[in-house]
Structure 1
Amino acid sequence: MHAYLRKIFGDPRTPRERYEADSPHFHAAKLTTPILIVYGGKDQRVPMGQALSLHSDLQRLGAPVSFLHFPDEGHAIGAPNHIRLMYETALNFLDHHVLGQAWRRPRML
């Protein structure tokens, strides 16, 4: 666990209540806003299992969720073509969920 988070929240093995209160997994049933999860496969901060688990929980609960995975990226998406694809996907996601337009698959996918 990162020392910064341990300093803010404490050791997760002792006061679990603080972690559980802020965990989206414990509140997934309340989420109704469409969510686009963008994940870098080399992310050192968020384990892939957590991102996939949240996606799976939201799908199971019928929440509008999409998952965009960049296997060679870290916590931040940095490659120019990946950034372009991420923004095109995000704009299409918003067009679909906010404006009610038909989903358009990004040209780069």
Structure 2
Amino acid sequence: MNHYWAKLLAGAFFEVIWVIGLKHASNVSTWLITVVAIFLSFYLLIISTQKLPVGTAYAVFAGLGTAGTVIAEFLFFGEPFDLVKMAFISLLLIGIVGLKLVTEEQGDK
């Protein structure tokens, strides 16, 4: 995996952090973490589009962020496990892997 895909994955990770932060931040330090995560997630998304197509990068970014947020709710915040929800998250992840497999890097801009 090249470093542009790695940056995109890191950006999606920080997206999960800030989405959770928007719901659960309750003091200055948690709001600061949320704001930093927002900055990092979009910065990494923008950097990854230097070599990856914008549409593919954004679809992967949003899909992984969505899947990660739902999974984090199950694991850390007591959201009840829903088999149907997990089936759709699995379908989303299959689509993301498919996009990765069929996407070629763009040349230098």
Q: TM-score, normalising length from structure 1?
A: 0.38
Q: TM-score, normalising length from structure 2?
A: 0.38
Higher normalized strand content (fraction of residues): 1
